[in-house]
């Protein structure tokens, strides 16, 4: 019985994690002809105090490798609106 409950809790936890990631990716869904140029990502983040090292496309989002002070992060942005979808800080 305990194994069934634990298995159920594990499945619920994995479902929630997957749903959270899917919602981030969904925020980046836009036709490529509506995307802003990569240079706009760099301009936006630099205006916010980031030093951008590289910008690439990852799962439909712009992904910028950037530094703010000593903090390194991957910043994911919607390619159409340049809204920050997620920031993944490097440890």
17: containing domain: 2-89
Q: Do 45 and 65 touch, CB atoms closer than 8 A?
A: no
Per-residue model confidence (pLDDT) at position 2: 58
Per-residue model confidence (pLDDT) at position 27: 84
Q: What is the pLDDT along the chain (91 residues), one digit of tens a residue?
A: 556 544 554 444 544 444 444 445 578 989 999 999 999 999 999 999 999 999 999 999 999 999 999 999 999 999 999 999 999 998 6
Domain count, the chain: 1
Residue 41 to residue 27: CA distance in whole angstroms: 16
Residue 90 to residue 72: CA distance in whole angstroms: 5
Q: List the structure tokens of 90.
A: 């490097």
Per-residue model confidence (pLDDT) at position 41: 97
Per-residue model confidence (pLDDT) at position 8: 52
């Amino acid at each position: 019985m305990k194994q069934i409950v634990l298995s159920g809790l594990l499945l619920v936890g994995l479902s929630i994690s997957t749903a959270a990631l899917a919602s981030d990716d969904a925020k980046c869904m836009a036709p490529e002809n509506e995307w802003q140029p990569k240079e706009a990502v760099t301009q936006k983040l630099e205006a916010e105090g980031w030093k951008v090292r590289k910008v690439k496309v990852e799962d439909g989002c712009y992904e910028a490798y950037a530094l703010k002070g000593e903090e390194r992060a991957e910043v994911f942005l919607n390619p159409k609106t340049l809204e920050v979808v997620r920031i993944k800080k490097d440890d």
